[in-house]
Structure 1
């Protein structure tokens, strides 16, 4: 069983909002932990939100290397999923 806590957030940026609100586009961008798969995400959307995703594309993002006061650190890795939703469906209930 997939766990909803693996979903970190829904991304709301200028680019993702244009995907969400554009013509013939109903795409939500979801940021998750690195161990999430397309099948697990599809199961979470169906069980918790009652949404059958039409298409899911995934993208693995490596954390950036940053320096702070001369010390090297890095941001965490994550996965982004572009989820094509059916007409009229939205993921506003889990929000950012």
Structure 2
């Protein structure tokens, strides 16, 4: 079974923060995803790439802040995070690469 390349573009990287670690104790994994991806697309991508069953997907869209750099105004990029809850018994080890 070949994996579609756009699935790798959709899920950018895992997010490893204190809050994400607390979510992993509840069976959830946090990923940074592309801004235009939808919940069903994220679910399909995670199930295909990691061979796990996904229970639910919750997303958070963080707008980029306006910051000043060397006197000029600039804007950070928008970031979309996906909290992927896995079915009991499934795990994803985010410390290893794909």
TMscore range, shorter length: 0.7 to 0.9
Retained in 2: the 8 A contact 1:56–1:81?
A: yes
**1:2-33 deviation per Cα after TM superposition (whole angstroms, max 9, x unaligned):** 52222121111111101112xxx101111111
Give 1:91 deviation, angstroms. 2.5
Q: SS of 1:76's equivalent?
A: coil
Indicate the residue corresponding to 1:43 in structure 2. 44
Instruction: Output the TM-score relative to the length of structure 1.
Output: 0.83
Q: Decide whether aligned partners of structure 1 residues 11 and 39 sit closer, same or farther in structure 2, where only a CA change above 3 A counts.
A: same
Q: Tell me, which stretches of 5 or more residues in structure 1 are unaligned?
A: none
Give 1:93 deviation, angstroms. 5.5
Q: Tell me, which stretches of 5 or more residues in structure 2 are unaligned?
A: none
CA distance in 2, matches of 1:62, 1:95: 29
1:85 has 2:89 as partner? no
What are the equivalent positions in structure 2 for 1:1-96 lying under 5 Å apart? 2-21=6-25, 25-92=26-93, 95=96
